[in-house]
Structure 1
Amino acid sequence: MTKKRLKLLIVDDHPMIIEGYKNALQDMSSDDYELIIESAQDCDEGMEKIQNSTTGTPYDIIFLDIQLPPSKDGRILSGEDLGLRANRLSPSSKLVFLTMFNDNYRIHSILKNVNPDGFLVKSDVNSSELVKAFDTINNDPPYYSKSVKQFIRNDMTNRNVIDELDRKILFHLSKGVQTKDLPEYVSLSINAIEKRKKSLRKLFDISTRNDVSLIQKAKEQGFL
C-alpha cells in the first residue's frame, strides 16, 4: 500500500515538547503515513517557514502553541495571531492549536476568529490522544479535546445570554483592569460598561457591587 506523504510544522517555544510531539507522530508514520516534520520556536521563525512553504509545498498540518515569543516587529503577538496569518497565506493547511491555556475566553476567541481544524488542551492529551487527533484532523476534522468540547457545550447554552462585549468586560476585569480604564480595552463608554456590569450582576444574582464576586461567578459559570 502506498503511504500518504504529509508535511507538518510544529510551532512551540519548548524544544522538549516539540520532540515529544515528533516522537508520538513518527511512531505512527511507519504504518500509513510518511511524515516530514519541521519545527519553529517563535512567531518570526514560524511565519518565515509558512511564507516559504507557499512558494513550494504547503504544510498539510500546522500545530501551534498559543503562548509564543512575539515577532520582532510586534505585529504577531501569539499563536492565535500566527494562525490568522497562516489561514490567509496557506488556506489549504489545516491548523491545530495545542496549548496549556484552558480559560474559556481564549478558547472562545480562537474558535471564533481562527476556526481551527483541531484544538487540544495539553493537560487533556497524551501520546495516544495526539495520534487519534492527528488521524481525525487529517481525515475528518475538526477534533477537540475534552476541555474544548466542554466549553463548546457551555457556550451553546449561554450564547444568547452574554455577548462578545460582556465577555471582554469580564475578561479584562479578571486581569486586574479597573472599570475606569475599561474604555481603553472595550469600545464602550463608562456609562455603557456600568450598565452591562449591572446586568451581569443581575444575571448572576449578585447583590454586591464587588468586581471580585462578579469575576468569581463568571468563572463558576464557565465564562472565564
Structure 2
Amino acid sequence: MENKKYSVLIIDDHPLITDAYKSAFNYYSKQNESIKFSIKIAQNCDTAFELINEFSTKEKQIDIIFLDIKLPPSKDRKILSGEDLGLLINKLFPNTKIIISTTLNDNYRVHSIFKSIDPDGFLIKNDITPKELIESIHSILNDPPYYSKTVVKLLRKQVANDFILDNIDRKILYELSIGTRMKDLPNLLPLSIAGIEKRKRHLKQIFNIKSPDDRELLFIAREKGFI
C-alpha cells in the first residue's frame, strides 16, 4: 500500500485535550503503518491564525483540522472564537476536513455551527473517549462525516431555518458583553447605530427576549455559547 502523509492542525486551548488528540493520531498511525501525520498545535486564536496564514502563504495544504469553538478572542479582537477561524479555513482551504470539537451542546448553537462552517466531523467533548477519537479519525480519512452521539441527537431536533448568527451578530454580542458603549460600536463595525439597533432587535426575536435592555440578551447568548 502506498504511504500517505497527512498534515494536521489541532486548535484547542487545553493542553490535555491537544495531547489526547495527538496521541490518537499517533496510535492510528501505529495501527496503519502506511499512514503518517505531521501535527502542529495552536492553543489560541493568534497562533492558529499565524499557522493558517503560514500554510496559505507557502501554498501548503492542511488536510485535517481539529477545531475548538470556545477559544479566547485574538489580541486584536478580530477573531472572536473558533467559528471565525473555521470560516477563514473554509475560505483559504476549501478541501480541508474540519472536525469541530467543543463542549457546546445547545441545539441552536450546534445548528448554527453546521450552517456556518459545515464541518466534516463534529464531536461534543463529553462524548469523547480514546476509542471515539480513533473512530473519528478513521471516518474522516475514509468516509466522512463523523458525528458523536450527542450531535446526532441534536441534529434530529428541528430548529428555525433562518436561525444563524453571522460574524457581525457575534461581534455585536461580544463587544456589548465586554462593556463597549453603543455609540462606539460604529467605529468597530461596518454599521450605523440604526443598523446595530436593527441587528439587536433581530437577535432578541431569535432568542425570544421581551426585555428592552441588553442584559437578558447577553445572558441567553452566553448561555447558548455565542459569547
TM-score by length of 1: 0.72
CA 1:71–1:128: 2 relative to 1, 3 Å: same
Match of 1:19 in 2: 19
Q: Are the equivalent residues in 1 in contact too, given 2:99–2:120 (CA < 8 A)?
A: yes
Letter matched to residue 51 of structure 1? N
The one of 148, 158, 170 equivalent to 2:151 is 148
Q: Are the equivalent residues in 1 in contact too, given 2:136–2:146 (CA < 8 A)?
A: yes
CA 1:189–1:76: 2 relative to 1, 3 Å: closer
Q: Are the equivalent residues in 1 in contact too, given 2:7–2:64 (CA < 8 A)?
A: yes
Q: Are the equivalent residues in 2 in contact too, given 1:42–1:68 (CA < 8 A)?
A: yes
What per-residue deviation string (whole Å, max 9, x for no partner) do you get for residues 23-64 of structure 1? 122111123211111100111111111111122421100111
Match of 2:7 in 1: 7
Q: Matched residues in 2 for 1:14 and 1:154: separation?
A: 30
CA root-mean-square deviation: 3.2
Match of 1:136 in 2: 139
Q: Following TM superposition, by how much is the alpha carbon of 1:105 offset from its aligned partner in structure 2, in angstroms?
A: 2.0
Match of 1:39 in 2: 41
Q: Matched residues in 2 for 1:131 and 1:151: separation?
A: 22
What per-residue deviation string (whole Å, max 9, x for no partner) do you get for residues 178-217 of structure 1? xxxxx96763759xx68x959xxxxxxxxxxxx9xxx9xx
Match of 1:187 in 2: 199
Q: Following TM superposition, by how much is the alpha carbon of 1:147 offset from its aligned partner in structure 2, in angstroms?
A: 1.0
CA 1:129–1:75: 2 relative to 1, 3 Å: same
**Would you identify which runs of 4 or more consecutive aligned residues in structure 1 move more than 2 Å?**
183-190
The one of 116, 122, 125 equivalent to 1:122 is 125
Q: Are the equivalent residues in 1 in contact too, given 2:112–2:163 (CA < 8 A)?
A: no
Q: Matched residues in 1 for 2:52 and 2:132: separation?
A: 26
What per-residue deviation string (whole Å, max 9, x for no partner) do you get for residues 140-177 of structure 1? 2111111111111112xx557xx428xx9xxx9xxx9x
Q: Are the equivalent residues in 2 in contact too, given 1:50–1:90 (CA < 8 A)?
A: no
Q: Are the equivalent residues in 2 in contact too, given 1:100–1:121 (CA < 8 A)?
A: yes
Q: Matched residues in 2 for 1:56 and 1:130: separation?
A: 29
Match of 2:104 in 1: 101
Q: Matched residues in 1 for 2:147 and 2:119: separation?
A: 10
Q: Following TM superposition, by how much is the alpha carbon of 1:15 offset from its aligned partner in structure 2, in angstroms?
A: 1.1
Aligned length: 184
Q: Matched residues in 2 for 1:189 and 1:129: separation?
A: 41
Higher alpha-carbon Rg: 1
Match of 1:53 in 2: 55
Q: Matched residues in 2 for 1:10 and 1:104: separation?
A: 25
Percent identity, aligned pairs only, is 44
